[in-house]
Structure 1
Amino acid sequence: MTAPTMNGLIHNAVRRDLERLAAALEVWPDGDRDRAARLGLAFANLRRELTHHHEGEDAHVWPFLAGTGVAPDLLAEMEDEHAAMSAALAQTGDALAALARTGSAADAAAARASVGRTREVVGAHLDHEEQELEPLLHGHEGTAEWRAVTGRLRHRSPADAGSFFAWLTDGISDGDRAALRATVPPPVTGVLSRVFGRRYTRTVAPVWREAVTPGAR
């Protein structure tokens, strides 16, 4: 099996967070507004990272692929799927905000249903992109043109980069960690995560630990 690209690693982190969020909503103590607020915070981080990722694709990757002769209809499908994902994420954000206001089991059930729909929409797009576009990009790896694109995609402040790597590696599988090490030198990932990713480590990571092991805060 081919090791995932950085794009695939990001996709896997998105899938992992949505799975954890769905699991956290499975059994809900009626009235737990504090827990709902924490889940909303963790979801907001996921939404921010996914939005940044897809805005980068819209601005840089799709134009690059268009210039290499990729069918415009396929790129239009990708843009439509991005719009559908944005709408689904917004709906889930609203559902979690409602849950944070009430903490009710009924709103937890509504949020759980919304997360299920979002997982379907997001998962379908990630699968589509990996099946249709990843093979096309492999042929351009190492070229000056693609390096220029990836350089623009990686342009983030140290704080944003640190939060990104802390998120990317939170719960990462052994196989994905090996792929990351082959892409980014471990000292770079380590320093960015530990020094500049402290916001994520202190505020978001504990929420996902609690989602996996309820009561672990």
Structure 2
Amino acid sequence: MADVRDMYTAHVMLRREFRLLPGLVRGVPPGDIKRAKIVATHAEKICLVLHLHHEGEDLVLWPLLLERGGEQTSAIVPTMEEQHHGIETALRDVTELLAAWKESARGGELLAASCETLSARLQEHMAMEEERILPLVEEHVTAAEWAQLGEHGLNGTPKQDLPLVLGMVMYEGDPLVLKEILSKAPLAARLVMPFVGPRVYARHARRVYGTPTPPRVGDGHIEPGPGLTSA
């Protein structure tokens, strides 16, 4: 049956990046288009990761659970779907505001507030998913079916961004879980990605956060300080 540890690992990355995003936006001086483009490009990448993550659940996971889980799943899956709709609405708001802010570096507070709304909805959803859904997945979903979620995300991610996305996950990921994830990849990726992913994310984080080691969820410190919003 499904090994859901990779979902916890993905959630840690999403918690970190979306909790830090409002502070990044607020740290851009009005009119600093160069800095706004750096932060906006980062935001666009993580927004795509989130969209693909939830789209895979909508297409693969919810139908399987509703088909097999009886009253247990029929009681919770509609709530998950409703939360997805709320998150997708917030995601569209952020994406639309990003487009204008990226070119003008104006209206940052409105964008930051929208990022906070998105993050709050996402945190609530992931906590409920971990508590209520993942135990049902372990009971009703096979490993092969579960793998379709990851494949959906990989297929929708631009190839040039795959090392960065993996590096984001590896930053706080359990090494044993990451090894299991990579075990399904082609041999070249299994050999190269453990070295390339962290380096790509470190370079990206230095540009975005001003440090290759931004605050970690696991440290309990996820709000960026002034030095992380001015690079």
Q: TM-score, normalised by structure 1?
A: 0.77
Deviation at 1:30, TM superposition (A): 2.2
The corresponding residue for 1:118 is 118
Post-superposition shift, 1:93?
1.6
The runs of 5 or more residues in structure 1 that have no matched partner are: none
What does residue 86 of structure 2 align with? 84
Taking the TM superposition and a 5 Å limit, the aligned residue runs for 1:131-150 are 131-140=131-140, 146-150=142-146
TM-score by length of structure 2 reads 0.73
Cα deviation digits, residues 72-122 of structure 1 (max 9, x gap): 241111111111111101111222223223213xx1111111111111111
* Contact 2:19/2:116, CA 8 A, preserved across alignment: no
Shift of 1:46: 0.8
CA distance in 1, matches of 2:182, 2:37: 34
Quote the residue 1:43 is aligned against.
43
Q: 1:97 aligns with which of 76, 83, 99?
A: 99
State whether residues 101 and 108 of structure 2, in contact with CA within 8 Å, keep that contact through their aligned partners in structure 1.
Answer: yes
Distance 1:180 1:44, change over 3 A: same
Distance 1:166 1:64, change over 3 A: same
Tell me, in whole angstroms, the C-alpha distance in 1 between the residues paired with 2:194 and 2:96: 30
Equivalent pair of 1:85/1:121 in contact (CA under 8 Å): yes
Distance verdict in 2 for CA 1:124–1:168, change over 3 Å: farther
Larger deviation, residues 50-59 vs 24-33: 24-33
Distance 2:158 2:60 in 1: 19
2:192 partner letter:
V
CA positional deviation for 1:152: 2.2
Aligned residues: CA RMSD: 3.4
* Residue 153 of structure 2 corresponds to residue 151 of structure 1: no
Percent identity for Structure 1 against Structure 2: 23
| Alignment partner, residue 176 of structure 1 | 174
**CA shift digits 1:149-206 (9 cap, x unpaired):** 12322334597577345324327455534432344349745535777x7xx7699555
Give the secondary-structure state (helix, strand or coil) at the position aligned to 1:30. coil
Q: Which amino acid aligns with 1:75?
A: V
Cα distance in 2 for residues equivalent to 1:82 and 1:208: 27
Q: 1:191 aligned to 2:154?
A: no
For 2:53, the equivalent position in structure 1 comes to 53
Moved more, 65-74 or 83-92: 65-74
> 1:26/1:5 Cα in 2 relative to 1: closer, same or farther (>3 Å)?
same
Are the equivalent residues in 2 in contact too, given 1:96–1:111 (CA < 8 A)?
yes
Q: Is contact 1:85–1:118 with CA below 8 Å preserved after alignment?
A: yes
CA distance in 2, matches of 1:84, 1:193: 35
Whole-Å Cα distance in 1 between the matches of residues 91 and 24 of structure 2? 17
The residue identity in structure 1 corresponding to 2:101 is L
